[in-house]
Amino acid sequence: MPLRVDPTYPSRRTYVVKLSSDAAPDALCGRLENLVTCQQSHFASSRELFDLIARDIESCRAEPPNDP
């Protein structure tokens, strides 16, 4: 069985979502942190959270692949 070159769950896309103490199901707010790059961004809604993740994924695609 050949090994996959691209992992199913790449570590570059590992995040911690920290919710603020006043977050509610209909009003998410907090901080998103990428565990590999240590980049942190604050969000004030679920839409902003999803947009931050989408932008980060797009920036991953723009990066040149690492050589093994």
Q: Is the pLDDT of residue 68 over 50?
A: no
The string of DSSP codes covering 1-53 is: -PPPSS-SS-GGG-EEEEE-TT-BTTB--EEEEETTT--EEEESSHHHHHHHH
pLDDT interval class at 41 (50, 70, 90): very high
pLDDT interval class at 48 (50, 70, 90): very high
Q: How much of the chain exceeds pLDDT 90, in percent?
A: 56
67 vs 9: which has the higher pLDDT: 9
Alpha-carbon distance of 37 to 42, in angstroms, equals: 15
Would you kindly state where each structural domain of the chain is located, as residue ranges?
12-62
Structure confidence by residue, pLDDT tens digits, 3-26? 777 777 777 889 999 999 999 988
